[in-house]
Amino acid sequence: MVQEKQVTLSVNGRSRTGRFPAHRTLLEALRELGHTEVKCGCEKGDCGACAVLVDGKAVDSCLTLVWTAEGRAITTVVGLGNAQSPHPLQKAFAESGAAQCGYCIPGMVIAAKSLLDRNPDPGEEDVRIALSGNLCRCTGYTKIFEAVSTAAAALREEGGVR
């Protein structure tokens, strides 16, 4: 008999509850709860499309069992901003043309956010190392590097973390 339990998650500041078996990953659970912005690319931590922040650090939600995420603060790309009020990273990604097919972008933005929260003024090598777990097949990363550096400058100008 599969062991199931009710799990309450905090997603983008809101409480979300579902009934999940022990083997359910955070990726699967978030998507079941309607958070389709979290993308499935490989289910084994190779591509980064499913990255979310857990207590402020980017993790692959495909490698996280949902039971272990209970009580932690989960942030997806939707939690960062929206079209009317985008996060500086989202604004920079859109304006620099860093999103092509866009499928890697929710994870890419989360990985970049996790970097900038800890290192507000990253050098190019820091950005490269921080994004090496996020595969992109469309952009060659050139405009993604530009977007992260533009957003970092904008955030420093704002003088605070968002």
Partner 1 sequence: MHANFELDIAADLAEAVAMLADADGPGVAPLAGGTNLIVDIRAKRYRPRRLVGLDRVEALRGIADDGGRVRIGGRTTVTELLESPLIAATAPSLVQSARAFAGQMVRNTATVAGNIACGSPAADLVPPLLALDAELTLVSRSSSRTVALADFYQGYKKDVRRPDELIAAISWEKPAAGSHSRYYKLARRKGDAITVTGVAVSIVLDRGVCTRARIALGAVAPVVLRARSAEATLVGHGLTKERIGEAAAQAASASSPIDDVRASAAYRRHAVEVLTRRLVTDAWQPPI
Partner 2 sequence: MSTTRDDRGSAPNVGYRQIGRPLTRTDAPGKVTGRTLYAGDYSMPGMLHVKIVRADLASARLVRIDVSRARALAGVECILTGADLPDRTAATDIPGQTGRKRLNTDQQILVKERIRYFGEPLALIAAQSRDIAEQAAELVEFDLEPLPGVYDPEEALKPGAPLVSGSGDNVVAEYRIRKGDVDAGFGAADVVVERTYRTPFQEHAFLEPEVGLAWIDENEVVNIRVSTQVIEHFRTIAEAIGVPHNKVRILGALVGGGFGGKEDMTVEIYLALLAQRTRRPVRLEYSREDSFVGHGKRHPFKLTYRTGVTRDGRITALRISAIADSGAYVFLSPYVLLYCAVASPGPYRIDNLDFHGRAVATNNMYTSAFRGFGGMQACAAYEQQMDEVAKVIGMDRIEFRRRNFLRTGESISTGFVPPSAIWTEECVDRAWAALGEPTRVAYPLKIGRGVAAYLQSYGRLTFLHDTSEAWVGVEMDGTVVVRSGVTDIGAGQASALGQIAAEVLGVTLDNVVIYNSDSAVTPLAGTTTATRALYMTGNAAKLAAEAVRKRLAAGAAQELGVAADQVDFGDNRVFVVHEPARSMAMIDLVRACAARGIHRSELAIFRAPFSDPLDPQTGQGQAHPDYVFGAQAVEVAVDVETGEVTVLRSVAAHDVGQCVNRAAVEGQIEGGTQNGQGFALSEEMLYHEGRLLTPSFSEYLMPTSMDMPKVQSIILESRSGVGPFGAKGIGEPALTPVAPAIANAVADAIGVRVFELPMTPERVVRAIQEMERQI
Question: Which residues form the interface with partner 1 (CB under 8 A)?
Answer: 2-3, 22-25, 28, 43-46, 48, 51, 57-60, 62-65, 67-68, 111, 114-115, 118, 128-134
Q: How far is the CB of 56 from partner 2 (least distance, A)?
A: 18
Using the minimum distance from each CB to partner 2, give the nearer residue, 130 or 159.
130
Partner touching 161 among partner 2, partner 1, none, CB below 5 to 8 Å by kind: none
Of residues 10-69, which lie at the interface with partner 2 (CB under 8 A)?
21, 36-37, 39-44, 46-47, 49
Specify the stretch interacting with partner 2 by CB under 8 A; choose among 3-11, 74-82, 113-121, 152-160: 74-82
Q: Which residues contact 62 (CB under 8 A, 6 or more apart)?
A: 25, 26, 27, 40, 42, 43, 44, 45, 50
Residue 155: name its binding partner from partner 2, partner 1, none (Cβ under 5 to 8 Å by kind): none
Whole-angstrom distance, CA of residue 117 vs CA of residue 15: 24
Alpha carbons 146 and 76: distance in angstroms, whole number:
22
Applying the rule CB under 8 A, the residues between 97 and 116 that interact with partner 2 are: 97-106, 109
Residues 87 and 67: their CA atoms lie apart, in Å, by 29
Does 154 interact with partner 2 (rule: CB under 8 A)? no
Helix residue ranges per DSSP H, the chain: 26-32, 88-95, 105-118, 124-130, 142-158
The nearer residue to partner 1, 88 or 107, going by C-beta atoms, is: 107
Report the SS3 class of residue 51. strand
Q: Over the Cα atoms of the chain, what is R_g?
A: 16
